[in-house]
Amino acid sequence: MEKANRKKKWPMPLGLLLLIFLFSAEFYSLLSIGQISRWLFLRMDSLEKTSSPPRMFIHDRHVVMDNGLVRVTISTPGGMLTKINYKGHRNVLNSRVPESQRGYWDLVWSRPGQVEENFLKLRSKDFEVIAQDDNQIELSFKSTYDPSLDHNGTDLPLNVDKRFVLMRGMSGFYSYAIYERLKGWPALNIFQTRLTFKLDKTRGSPTRSTTCIQRSCFVDKSIQSGSERRGG
């Protein structure tokens, strides 16, 4: 585990961070959750009529999602982004660095009373297809905390579920992470969490992103938990 010598920040509460990555040439200024939702739903409704259903290909060490506009390759079961191809162009991520360093969720955290902060890349151990239909694909990459194995008190005391969603007709993909701390587990501070990209600097990147910190952004129409999708 790496150490991060960063300026002290207020801990951010446990919760869900939703990142939306759009690869369209135009990028709109989205000022509120309501505006984000309306813009995405209207855009999706207009594109579904002329677009193809998203497809998924599972290989030995990777899973690929492709909707004809964007193709996303993720390592399994680690859940690291290795390739993002837009409209058939070459990988917008830096192919000259190891796959584990191209696109990943990370976390800066500490235990109470700990002087230094810990920097951790969130590698998963389990891969699951949450949903696949004519309109979207949702993938889950999970890691589970086991208190009985945390002998030195250095493991991250959270269950982590990273999700990646590719929707029909959308020139981008969604990613969000669910952090779960069960009762009785060690306390911790979270100072920062993010989805990091190392882009190919030899070419201009069309990526744009917008962020919001509320599950209500998409839960009503596009993103549900695994139990909700399975009727549980």
The fraction of the chain above a pLDDT of 90, given in percent, is 57
At 90, the pLDDT band (50, 70, 90 cuts) reads confident
Domain boundaries defined on the chain: 2-229
pLDDT, tens digit, 9 for 90 and up, residues 44-79: 555 555 678 999 999 999 999 999 999 999 999 999
State residue 12's pLDDT score: 41
What pLDDT shows up at residue 187? 95
For the chain, give the mean pLDDT.
78
- What span, in angstroms and rounded, lies between the C-alpha atoms of 131 and 151? 37
Mean pLDDT of 27-43: 46
Peptide bond into 186 cis (omega under 30): no
Average pLDDT over residues 116-127: 96
pTM exceeding the 0.75 threshold for the entire prediction: no
